[in-house]
Structure 1
Amino acid sequence: MKLMLVRLSIFYNYKDLLKQLVQKDLKLKYRRSFLGYVWSVLNPLLVMIVMAIVFSTMFSRNIENFPVYLFCGQILFNFMNQSTNQALSSINGNAALLKKTYVPKYIFTFAKITSGLVDLVFSMGALVIVMIATRAHFSWHFLLFPFVLLQLYVFCLGLGMFLAQANVFFRDIQYIYNAVTTAWLYLTPIFYPIESLPAEVMWIVKHLNPMYFYIGQFRDLVCYNRLPGHMIIFAGCTASVLMLMIGTWSFLRNQDQFILYI
């Protein structure tokens, strides 16, 4: 307990560095861009329009307000995919700085996931635009979306730290993870109804796919104007905590050896 408090105190002391790293990531992303941060809204919106046109003929007949259904899954999965891919190289990418001075190594991974969260919050503006354009019904349940984003953020922090430390020792992780996320995308009901899956596959997705837990909760709040079931909330919170514990344990266990490999 005492060690945990010490580590939290160290993290708090470096909060300004975390803020600067997040700001740097956001500025670099939109550097020399005429529209700047507006792309955080336009980019997911344009991608959603393309995907809605492509997939609407196949799935929309079974899904009410398909654009909103699609967008709810798309923005959450994109956040997980992009932020963890950036976190994967967060240690190797800052090797020069880590060799020169002491900073908590996990701060770079935190920064990548947090900058991704900022983009996700901007994307919520695009979601509101889609809901208005499609005349979707707004209810007070929509205001509970930060609870789902918090679960997903914690999950991505844990996954990001696990990937970051693993990539220091095994550079092939980045290529393997690209294949994993591709399979993960198609095993997550983003652009199709989960009922269209075979019974065995549907059981696996409902019970073993963390992204289904978060997208399912999010759609309940945004698309269906209802509170998520207690089991999917429990599953989402459990997956977040377990992933954070695994990621933190593996990162702290191996961080003293990073300097030998970066």
Structure 2
Amino acid sequence: MTDKAPSADKPSEALINDIKLLLQSGDFTKAESQLLDLVASGPDHEEVLYMLAVSQRYLKKHPLALQTLDTLKRLIPDHSRAYQETGHVYRAMHNPNAALNAYSRAVQINPALEASFKAQIEILSATGRAAVTGQLKQQLQTLQALPKPLIAVTDLLSQGKLVKAEQLCKAFMQKVPRHIEGMRLLADIGSRLGVLEDAEFLLESAIEFSPENIQVRIDYIQVLRKRQKNESALAQATILLAKDPKNPQFQSVFAVESMQSGDYDTALETF
């Protein structure tokens, strides 16, 4: 999903907003009817399909909702909210394992989906698997601690809407210039846009302000590698591994950077 020009076949914004109001007021039958008319009269449109699936779930037309979501996922394979909605449908059908799979895929694509984190924790706790919810709870707490503008930036990034994400992130950083996650997200946007020098500077600064931030250091290593600064990337990977020599992720990062630097023996020993 990326920034793209609006299609001439796209339903009018006024009509979409009218249908959203129907959903908000709980008139799912009328919303479904109007959405089905749109589906029948034009090409597949992501927002129409998504709202149709929501309507069908609330009307307890669960098989139809899943069919609609399958159509949406074929149209946009990385549509995170389609997977989240699939989780909601399976949960309503009392199929917790299928719901868990859908919610897990949703947050892999989009780590800003609070409802999917909460649903996984609730399902696991209700099915005797509360012991494995620790990481999910930590991820949820991290998400909830973020300022709302940065949650929105994360959401936009997951949709590939880089221009909007950059505008929102820069506006936030003008008010809070040393916010570590804000710096990391802005660097991520820069990296995706190919502005690697700016991304490197942001991450280098973020590490100076927060040297124990693991994700910032990993992102920094990745940008250094992209800029072919293999010696610097290996130095950062060495620092990372020293923090926890038995951590499989740190070992993997160190092995990759060793290999990039030509030290294949160390890389093979570490993998």
Say whether the fold is shared (TM-score over 0.5). Answer: no
| TM-score relative to the length of structure 2 | 0.28
Structure showing greater radius of gyration is 2
